[in-house]
Amino acid sequence: LAEFLSRRTLYSLISLVGLVILVFFLARLTGDPTNLYLPLDASLEAREDFRARHGFDDPMLVQFARFLGDLARFDLGDSIRQARPALDVVTEALPTTLTLAAWTMSLAVTLAIVVGSLAAVRPNGPFDRLASVVSLAGASAPDFWVAITGILVFAVALNWLPTSGTGTVWHWIMPLTVLLIRPFGLLVQVVRGAMMTALSSAYVKTARAKGVRGRRVVFLHALRNSMLPVITVAGDQAAGIINGAVIVETVFGFPGIGKVMIDAITQRDFAVIQAAILATALLIFVMNILIDLAYAMLDPRVRYR
Amino acid sequence: MLRLRTMTALALPGLLLGAAAFGGAVQAQEAGSVTVVLSEEPDIIDPCEASRSNVGRVVKQNITETLVEIDPTDGSITPRLATGWEQIDDLTWRFTLREGVSFHDGEPFNAETLAYSINRTLDESIDCEIRLKFFGGIALTPEPVDTYTIDLKTAEPAPILPTMMGTMTVVSPNTPMGERTRDPIGTGPYRFESWTPGQNIVLVRNDGYWGDAPAVEKATYVFRPESAVRAAMVATGEADLAPAIAVQDATDPSMDFSYLNSETSSFRIDMTVPPLDDVRVRKALNFAVDRDAFIGSIFPADVIKSTAQVVPSISGHNPDLVPWPYDPEQAKSLLEEARADGVAVDTPIRIVGRGEIYPNATEAAEAVAAMLEAVGFTIDLQMVDVAQWVDIYTKPYAEDRPPSLHQTQHDNNNGDAVFTVFFKYHCDGGQSTTCDEELDALIEKATVSTGDERRQTWQAAFKRIHDELVADIQMFHMVGFTRVGSRINYQPSISTNSEVQLAHITFK
């Protein structure tokens, strides 16, 4: 296992370095932030002066060397826009997105397992039909539309929940629900499919023949073996949430990393782009390692590969 | 099995009931406090950036004040931190300062501290927008005369320096020189209390304020990019004021107010590239656009057809100019006439559009493109992002650029046309695609003159731009919408685009 882990970490590090180089050059490919930062009325001299002071007029390789030098001292640079370290901007925003993602995925997986399993027990029964309609609708509904409609219904018309913002538990209900819908819809389909395969497999039939009770077969024998595809899809969705949270964060005014990243990209705030991508990439690599570990625990065959 | 299914069946209505029971938990506001919901969070709240609208709405005249205040309805100025001003000679203005004023950190406001603040704002080692936007290329030296008198000396005559000082916020001498601050300290009726990035900015009333004590004791600014959410927050009472909402969300006449927002939309014509260097072609462009068709459809019903990039309340606006009428036949015949003279009128003309420059901007650009094609132009509509848009819009221009129209919107609520005309129409203007000797002479004359002569010279310049040079396709003076909650009184005005004075809010 130790060898497996160290190999995975090494691969991840190589990818990270590649990513850092790629992001550095891609971000600068479209130009520098001078014209976006300065007012339209700023003179040509003011623009050139700005470029020189922030080092945007140096050759790309010189800028890259400077960036690597700073990085070696764990300095990710300052946000030009916010006049403070880019790392502060990112570490401030990260916990909100992580909390959102963790709750969303836990709830989505739990709910999907319950609903998917129940649907698989009696395929084409009324519950299965209902679950399919709801989950397919969920998987295909645009987040943005769901979020705005949710606000109009639950906050403006019914006055049950706050429209947006943070503060109380009630503020989290709508953002979580909106984020949850798509992974939940997908996972229900995955659980249902995997469970149907498992329930019709030989080992379940054997267990039933031996007289094991229905609930035990479903939740012990079949479910455990159906978890592999669920974990794969769930891992994929979790990575997607870190990116996809931008809509929820924007609509509900949640101070998360998705919004920080989008704003930094549109403003060409290079230091923040780099810090945000580096931080999320690290997270996704950690998560992938955890998923691999979960795999290895669930399926002995993976361990020997 | 049954138990599980029952539990699932109960779970959802249970959750909803729980939420309903807590419906009352939706935040109510404290007495004396207001919440203002803005469309974007400022990156920084340095007062020297107060000309950025998202910074200005928090900072300007709330935390930091200016020497004079510009009345946006007619461009006149009234005393604020200065009580009087006079021109000593061509290069010197003398300001008398208000006595008994102190900054929020206890420092006194006087000629010395004012000089520090002016020098900080004009310091070239930081990129204060107020310097770059209003004081570019102007050498200004503050020279204290006595405690409450200061001379502002300029290298060139600056006849409207008092008006220009209406844009410059005054900060405490403890504000760092040469670096930007996230902790604004001024003399205004509100003190900066806290900023939780991504969440809110809080101001509290300054009880040591020199002027009348305002009604609002505490103001919380929150940020929601979605207009529908901002409108919803005021509707539910979570916020009291949304200074800018989209027209489609301004559906309740009891809460929603429209106001001329000091922005003017137009399409710049690049007069330096054929066939747009021919005035007949530029007139044809103007005759081809049916402006009335936009009103109440793509643009809100309250917009006003414009003849210049400054709104009517700006000194120098020319009320005698008439918008170009819609006359497609005349457009066609002008094009034919030019074609007969060998002008390459069939050259594809690029429209550089920007989707988010104002609401429905894409639709506006598409409609203009269709109208131009209807009279015989060949149009290449390119919608670009803000960075590309700025690159194309500002000098230096690409050598091999195609003939272009540029979708723009310009905001001037600073009282005088100089903040607009030089940049956009002078040969040396950073965004100018016009170069006309006669116009340059008018601009240079107006810049150094005062009073009626100044106003009349600007009016002559606008006549030259609109009637003779035909340098743009002028569209509209735009309107904005503000939603005001039921707890407060607040009247949006043309300055709501750049400032929201909390002192103007009262409770019902």
ipTM of this model? Answer: 0.86
pLDDT surpasses 90 at B86 = yes
Nearest to A27 by CA among A283, A258, A267, A260: A267
Report the pLDDT value the prediction gives residue A302, as an integer from 0 to 100. Answer: 65
- Please report, in angstroms and rounded to a whole number, the separation of the first and last CA atoms in chain B: 59
Question: A39, B396: Cβ pair inside 8 Å?
Answer: no
C-alpha span between A202 and A187 (Å, rounded): 24
Question: B226, A259: Cβ pair inside 8 Å?
Answer: no
Report the pLDDT value the prediction gives residue B15, as an integer from 0 to 100. Answer: 45
Nearest to B299 by CA among B424, B409, B406, B386: B409
Cα distances (Å, whole numbers) of residue B125 to A49, A305, B120, B152:
9, 60, 9, 21
**Which chain A residue lies closest to B27 (C-alpha atoms)?**
A162
Does the CB of B179 have a partner CB in chain A at under 8 Å? yes
> For the residues of B145-183, what is the DSSP string, one character each?
EETTEEEEEESS--TTHHHHHTT-B---TTSPTTS--SS
- As a whole number, mean pLDDT of residues B421-436 equals 90
Query: Which residue has 């600007």 as its token pair?
Result: B458
The kind and range of the H/E element at B19 are helix B2-21
Report the pLDDT value the prediction gives residue B28, as an integer from 0 to 100. Answer: 63
Contacts of A43 (CB under 8 A, 6+ apart): B132, B136, B137, B430
Query: Which residue has 């009324």 as its token pair?
Result: A126
Name chain B contacts of A89, Cβ cutoff 8 Å.
197
Report the pLDDT value the prediction gives residue B7, as an integer from 0 to 100. Answer: 41
Report the pLDDT value the prediction gives residue A248, as an integer from 0 to 100. Answer: 87
Quote the mean pLDDT of chain B: 89
pLDDT band at A228, cuts 50/70/90?
confident
Question: A163, B430: Cβ pair inside 8 Å?
Answer: no
What's the pTM value of the predicted model, to 2 decimals? 0.88
Question: A255, B198: Cβ pair inside 8 Å?
Answer: yes
Report the pLDDT value the prediction gives residue B3, as an integer from 0 to 100. Answer: 41
Does the CB of B123 have a partner CB in chain A at under 8 Å? no
- As a whole number, mean pLDDT of residues A264-289 equals 87
* Bridge partners, B476 (sequence order): B265, B305
Chains A, B: CB pairs < 8 Å: 155
CA B446 to chain centre: 23
**Interface subset of B 27-66, CB within 8 angstroms of A:** 27, 43-44, 46, 51
Nearest to A43 by CA among B394, B310, B119: B394
**Interface subset of B 373-432, CB within 8 angstroms of A:** 385-387, 390-391, 393-396, 419, 423, 430-431
Residue A16, token pair as written in the block: 């990270």
Contacts of A161 (CB under 8 A, 6+ apart): A154, A155, A170, A171, A173, A174, B19, B26
What type of residue sits at position A19?
A: L
Report the pLDDT value the prediction gives residue B242, as an integer from 0 to 100. Answer: 94
Question: B26, A161: Cβ pair inside 8 Å?
Answer: yes
Burial (CB count within 10 angstroms: exposed 0-12, middle 13-18, buried 19+), residue A265: middle
Nearest to B127 by CA among B44, B38, B66, B41: B44
User: Strand runs (DSSP E) across B218-346, as ranges?
Assistant: 218-223, 241-245, 256-269, 304-305
Nearest to B431 by CA among B457, B409, B460, B458: B409
How close, in Å, is residue A263 to chain B by CA atoms? Answer: 10
- As a whole number, mean pLDDT of residues B67-73 equals 88
Question: B430, A82: Cβ pair inside 8 Å?
Answer: no
Q: At what angle do helices B279-288 and B328-340 cross, to 10 degrees?
A: 160
Question: A162, B26: Cβ pair inside 8 Å?
Answer: yes
> Which of A40, A114, A163 has the CB atom closest to B431's CB atom?
A40
pLDDT band at A305, cuts 50/70/90?
very low
Mutation target to probe the A interface, by most A beta carbons within 10 A, among B195, B229, B255, B354 is B229
Report the pLDDT value the prediction gives residue B136, as an integer from 0 to 100. Answer: 78
How close, in Å, is residue B10 to chain A by CA atoms? Answer: 14
The kind and range of the H/E element at B69 are strand B68-70
DSSP class of B330? H
C-alpha span between B187 and A16 (Å, rounded): 49
What type of residue sits at position A305?
A: R
Question: B387, A36: Cβ pair inside 8 Å?
Answer: yes
Does the CB of B248 have a partner CB in chain A at under 8 Å? no
Report the pLDDT value the prediction gives residue B175, as an integer from 0 to 100. Answer: 94
Angle at CA of residue B97, ends B96 and B101, nearest 5°: 165
Question: B23, A31: Cβ pair inside 8 Å?
Answer: no
What type of residue sits at position B361?
A: A
How close, in Å, is residue B259 to chain A by CA atoms? Answer: 25
Cα distances (Å, whole numbers) of residue B306 to A193, A250, B351, B374, B409:
63, 35, 20, 23, 12
Mutation target to probe the A interface, by most A beta carbons within 10 A, among B36, B55, B123, B132 is B132
Higher pLDDT, B116 or A76: B116
- As a whole number, mean pLDDT of residues A112-140 equals 84
Question: B229, A82: Cβ pair inside 8 Å?
Answer: no
Return the percentage of chain A with pLDDT > 70, whole number.
Answer: 97
Tens-digit pLDDT profile for residues A180-217 = 888 888 888 888 888 888 888 888 788 878 877 777 77
Higher pLDDT, B436 or A4: B436
Tens-digit pLDDT profile for residues B239-263 = 999 998 988 899 999 999 999 888 9
Tens-digit pLDDT profile for residues B3-45 = 444 444 444 444 444 444 444 445 567 889 999 999 889 988 9
Name chain A contacts of B387, Cβ cutoff 8 Å.
30-31, 35-36, 268
Question: B236, A46: Cβ pair inside 8 Å?
Answer: no
Question: A83, B179: Cβ pair inside 8 Å?
Answer: yes
Please say whether the beta carbons of A261 and A276 come within 8 A: yes
- As a whole number, mean pLDDT of residues A124-141 equals 84
> Which of A38, A148, A163 has the CB atom closest to B236's CB atom?
A163
- As a whole number, mean pLDDT of residues B67-81 equals 88
pLDDT surpasses 80 at A243 = no
Name chain A contacts of B390, Cβ cutoff 8 Å.
35-36, 40
Report the pLDDT value the prediction gives residue B299, as an integer from 0 to 100. Answer: 92
Please say whether the beta carbons of B419 and B314 come within 8 A: no
Please say whether the beta carbons of B280 and B338 come within 8 A: yes
- As a whole number, mean pLDDT of residues B185-209 equals 94
Tens-digit pLDDT profile for residues B89-147 = 989 999 999 999 999 999 999 999 999 999 999 998 888 889 988 887 788 999 999 99
> Which of B8, B129, B196 has the CB atom closest to A114's CB atom?
B8
Residue B227, token pair as written in the block: 């207009």
Name chain A contacts of B125, Cβ cutoff 8 Å.
53
Higher pLDDT, B496 or B477: B477
pLDDT surpasses 80 at A4 = no
Name chain A contacts of B393, Cβ cutoff 8 Å.
40
Does the CB of B130 have a partner CB in chain A at under 8 Å? no
Please say whether the beta carbons of B439 and B461 come within 8 A: yes
Name chain B contacts of A255, Cβ cutoff 8 Å.
196-199
C-alpha span between B187 and B169 (Å, rounded): 10
